[in-house]
Amino acid sequence: MLPIYWLIALVVFLVIEIVTLGLATIWFAAGALAAFAASMLNAPFGVQLVIFFTVSFLLLIFTRPLVQKRLNESRMKTNVNSMVGREGKVIEAIDNFNETGKVLINGMEWTARSVTEGAQIPVGSKVVVEKVQGVKVLVRLQETKQL
């Protein structure tokens, strides 16, 4: 009778995974499958539970970070997240103390502040966006390469 319970658990975990698509329960589905196999071999219930938890947590700990990394590689940054790393031109001197500064990035004007406290960046300088904070971009002066 125990194998049927492991199959029910497997189906429930798979349904939850299909509905959420968050890689939240797939690991437990694999554990339920392993426990089902153990129950088919007439392993005691305690052994089945140990197999279920061991397989589930080992897969969760060791494979989830790899799968998440792989899935996130293919995602394209959008909206504000796509601003990080972009270059811009200072159109109003950036001075954190006086709370002034504007940059032009891809034809759009942004309020800007320097990531380096106390730094002043003059008009016409080339900057790189380090972070977006609300409606402001935090920038650093782009280093010029000398030949």
- pLDDT (tens, 9 = 90+) of the chain, 147 residues, equals 689 999 999 999 999 989 887 777 888 999 999 999 999 999 999 999 999 999 999 998 888 778 777 766 666 555 666 788 899 999 999 998 888 999 999 888 999 999 988 888 999 999 999 998 888 999 998 876 444
Q: Note whether 58 and 83 are same-domain residues.
A: no
Q: Note whether 84 and 65 are same-domain residues.
A: no
* Predicted TM-score (pTM) of this structure: 0.50
Which of 52, 125, 45, 137 minimizes the C-alpha distance to 91? 125
* Domain assignment of residue 61, yes or no: yes
Amino acid occupying residue 113: R
Amino acid occupying residue 77: K
Domain residues for the domain of 118 are 79-141
**Coarse DSSP helix, strand, coil percentages of the chain, rounded to the nearest 5 percent:** 45, 25, 30
* Domain assignment of residue 147, yes or no: no
